[in-house]
Chains A and B, each alone.
Chain A
Amino acid sequence: MRKRRGAAGAIVALVLLLSAAACGDDSGGGTSSETTVAKGSVTVGSFNFSESVLLANLYAQALDGAGYKTTVRANLGAREVVFPALEKGEIDLVPEYLGNALAFVAKDEAKPGDDEAATVTKLKAALEPKKLSLLTPSKATDGDIIAVSKATADKYNLKKISDLAPVAKDLTLGGPPECPTRITCGLGLDQVYGLKFKAFKALDTGGPITKAALEKDEVQVARLFSADAAIKEKSFVILDDDKFIQPAGNVVPVISTELVDDEITAVLDKVSSTLTTDDLTTMNTKIDVDKEDADKVAHDYLVEKGIIKG
């Protein structure tokens, strides 16, 4: 009996010892701060690619600087995961992309050729019954694009997506796993452009796996993001979206309606209005190529633009 209790006690002690030894500082990927002025707490969620984590940090740190208690939940997943979380109140704020959000929330409303203003109106209307609000979109855009390698473009003389029609059957499309079910991606290429590819390969969300696959010709056509510096660097050719399945890529915060007030709107709008596409591309390069942390890059940017103090 003593031996058995001894054994149990020793095991518990061991686990505690190991845990204590492993205790490091709790450093923050997210930010939270104590503040004398009691303001609400805001949970900011992001999609599972690095630019989204960056944007989440930009908005969260700006709010943090204004005295809110913020938490960043990064890399939650694709919109299929993030949007329900937003609806359920598990997160309060998501840095969205105008056109993609509309295509997801109200796919029948999205019409090819919609301009920014039309998309804003439709999206606001679609979000309202879900108790979500759309703030002012930024001029910074990062849209979904379809790209091919220079070699492929030259070989088949490709300038726009429709040019793929005769040759698609010999080509493999690469994109995120959710691509085949999305009207802005594989589904749209099939239904709107009538492209029947030889195969689809599930890669990642415009990230290193997709870019490597395109470069190595494992896939010939890939879904990437426009604000990715690698496109120019690797001489990828962006195919023109002549039938407009790729929606406007303006960055825009979507937030829980009950949190909206003048002050929070002002803080978030300030970030949105400051951000430019070039800024995004530069910061993306810092994160993707120089492997800097998203939260640090966001912090430095906000300090540089005077939105928060250093």
Chain B
Amino acid sequence: MLGANGPESWIWWSWVGDHLGDIGTAVREHLELTAIAVALGLVIALPLAIVVHRWRAWTTPVFAVTGIVYTIPSLALFAFFVPVTGLSRTTAEIALVGYTLLILIRNTATGLAGVSPDVREAAQGMGFGPVAQLLRVELPLAVPAVIAGIRIATVTTIGLVTVTALIGQGGLGDFILDGLNRDFKTPLVVGTVLSVALAVTADLLLLLLQHALTPWSRRRTA
């Protein structure tokens, strides 16, 4: 147990030192996959949230579909698309984007719905049409809820990206898989610790962003 630090240790420090470049690449790939998924998720979720907000009838179908997608385990969702789009980044991103939708739509819609009727009336009184109302009043006021949604979606996605290693995509999941395949503890530990670190850091940074953008609301966030 107290042997020299080496290949059998949980963290073989000299291996870590030798592989900083690979680690950096993996972190970058991991962040790329996450950023693309959340960004694309937003692009799809924002319009859908607006639709759900304006036309209530759409609530059930939109949430039913995104809810089902969210419930499906990640490996299975990737597996659905592999026969279609192969072992590619596209497959990974389709599934990752799918997972962000429920959270992003729900949070955005909640944020939009949370705009008080008084504010709406005031905007109408000032002569804003429905579009202007949406863009200049409702969406800005929904920002805290949207960012809270982005926070949750980002942390969730960072965890899910590790599974994409099973369909040949990079990121920190590669280190975890490598550890499994080679009976090698160090890359496993490095991959795990960095995934958690990334998730916690992203969560904190986005929380700071949320507070920075909404100086008028200092509510206690969970």
- A–B contact with Cβ pairs below 8 Å: the answer is yes
Residues of A within 8 A of B (CB): 1, 3-4, 6-7, 10-11, 14-15, 18-19, 22-27, 29, 48-50, 75-77, 81, 204, 207-209, 212, 287-291
How many of B's residues come within 8 Å of A, CB to CB? Answer: 40
Contact B21 A26 (CB under 8 A): yes
Query: Which of chain A's residues have a CB closer than 8 A to the CB of B206?
Result: 14
Return the contact of A11 from the options B22, B25, B140, B150 (Cβ within 8 A): B150
Bitwise, B14-27 to A at CB < 8 A (1) or not (0) is 01000111111101
Contacts of B136 in A (CB 8 A): 1
Known: A27-B22, A290-B7. A19 touches B31 (CB 8 A): yes
Whether A14 contacts B209 by the Cβ 8 Å rule is yes
Q: Secondary structure of the B side of the interface?
A: helix
Report the bound CA distance from A77 to B182 in whole Å: 15
Nearest B residue to A19 by beta-carbon distance? B31
For residue B39, which residues in chain A have a CB less than 8 angstroms away from its CB? Answer: 15
For residue A288, which residues in chain B have a CB less than 8 angstroms away from its CB? Answer: 182-183
Given the interface pairs A7-B143, A23-B28, the reply to whether A291 lies near B213 with Cβ below 8 Å is: no
B interface residues, Cβ below 8 angstroms from A = 7, 12, 15, 19-25, 27-28, 30-32, 35, 39, 87, 135-136, 139-140, 143, 146-147, 150, 168, 180-184, 186, 201-202, 205-206, 209, 212-213
B164 CB, min distance to chain A CBs, angstroms: 14
Q: Tell whether, in the assembled complex, residue A48 and residue B181 are in contact, meaning their CB atoms are under 8 Å apart.
A: yes
Q: A24-B27, A290-B7 are in contact. Are A11 and B209 (CB under 8 A)?
A: yes
**A-B residue pair count with CB separations less than 8 angstroms:** 90
How many angstroms from the CA of A305 to the CA of B180 in the assembled complex? 32
Chain B nearest Cβ from A295, distance in angstroms: 11
The contact sample of 24 A-B pairs, CB cut-off 8 A, is: A1-B136, A3-B213, A4-B139, A6-B213, A7-B143, A11-B150, A11-B209, A15-B31, A18-B205, A23-B24, A24-B20, A24-B25, A27-B22, A27-B25, A29-B22, A50-B181, A76-B168, A204-B181, A207-B181, A207-B182, A288-B183, A289-B7, A290-B7, A291-B184
Query: A178 to B163, alpha carbons, bound, how many Å?
Result: 21
A4, A23, A81, A288: residue with the most chain B Cβ atoms closer than 10 Å: A4
Tell me, rounded to whole Å, the shortest Cβ–Cβ distance linking B37 to chain A. 11
Chain A residues positioned under 8 Å from B143 (CB to CB): 3-4, 7
Chain B residues contacting A25 (CB-CB under 8 Å) are: 20-21, 24
Q: Which residues of chain A are within 8 angstroms of B30 by Cβ–Cβ distance?
A: 22
